[in-house]
Amino acid sequence: QSALTQPASVSGSPGQSITISCTGTSSDVGSYNLVSWYQQHPGKAPKFMTYEVSKRPSGVSNRFSGSKSGNMASLTISGLQAEDEADYYCCSYAGSSTWVFGGGTKLTVL
Amino acid sequence: QVQLQQSGPGLVKPSQTLSLTCAISGDSVSSNSAAWNWIRQSPSRGLEWLGRTYYRSNWYNDYAVSVRSRITIIPDTSKNQFSLQLNSVTPEDTAVYYCGRQVGHYFDCWGQGTLVTVSS
């Protein structure tokens, strides 16, 4: 499977909202509501932020929200804070008990 | 609270076998609701899911097509851990390797990561 496509970088000012896109195909993102998003700070392991497109685990701020339309999933972060600066990765179930990640997006808080 | 602790060498020679272990605390490798995965990360390939093992009355494995001919993931119930073996490595296998617990279709707990360099 090919990696999901994400923009290399996005940026925003504190308090603003940003959206990170994640484009797949009809074989992965488009076929299943099984997209998850991960936040990774430098030198750290990824931390999961949303799952099944739009669900949030306990402990994750409601400033993080996920959505999906067709073959594209999105992560929106509202009320940007300095600590949101990190790399973000999407992941989708790709069928046949396999999973595929996106290439990652670097979020810069200006 | 689930914790995963990885161990294994950080340097492997080309053509040899990469071996890593992930020790589980706070859960069981024999859990009927979790799966135990290996994922790697490199600048050129980003995050790449490699494979998993899980128990549902029997043991099962799933592997990524890209490494299917070279990978084995083995559970060890006596030590509550699981291991990764990747054969015939090349410099392209140089990456940070993570173990991770999967619940449903997401990875909710990750090991600390191990940088493995393939070099002579």
Q: What is the pLDDT of residues A19-52, one digit of tens each?
A: 999 999 999 999 999 999 999 999 999 999 999 9
pLDDT in tens, A45-91: 999 999 999 999 999 999 999 999 999 999 999 999 999 999 999 99
Query: Average pLDDT of B3-31?
Result: 98
pLDDT, position A66: 97
Tell me if residue A83 falls in helix, strand or coil: helix
Q: Which residues are CB-neighbours of A69 under 8 A, at least 6 positions away?
A: none
Q: Do A51 and B110 touch (CB under 8 A)?
A: no
**B102: distance to nearest CA of chain A, Å?**
11
The string of pLDDT tens digits covering residues B91-100 is: 999 999 999 9
Using pLDDT thresholds of 50, 70 and 90, give the confidence band for residue B65. Answer: very high
Task: Name the average pLDDT for chain B.
Answer: 97
Scan for tokens 């054969």, then name that residue: B87
The predicted structure's pLDDT at residue A2: 82
**Which residue from A45, A93, A102 is facing B98, i.e. has the nearest CB?**
A45
Please list every residue in chain B whose beta carbon sits closer than 8 Å to the beta carbon of residue A51.
104-106
pLDDT of B44 reads 86
Give the count of Cβ contacts less than 8 A between chain A and B.
59
CB contact under 8 A, B106 and A98: no
Give Cβ neighbours of residue B61 (< 8 Å, ≥ 6 apart).
B51, B52, B53, B72, B73
**Residue A98 three-state SS:** coil
Check if A34 contacts B (Cβ < 8 Å): yes
Q: Provide mean pLDDT across the span B36-42.
A: 97
Residue contact B46–A34, C-beta within 8 A: no
**A104–B47: do the CB atoms touch at under 8 Å?**
yes
**pLDDT confidence bin for B79, thresholds 50/70/90:** very high
The pLDDT score that the predictor gives to residue B45 is: 85
* pLDDT attached to residue B25: 98
B-chain residues within 8 Å CB-CB of A87?
A: none
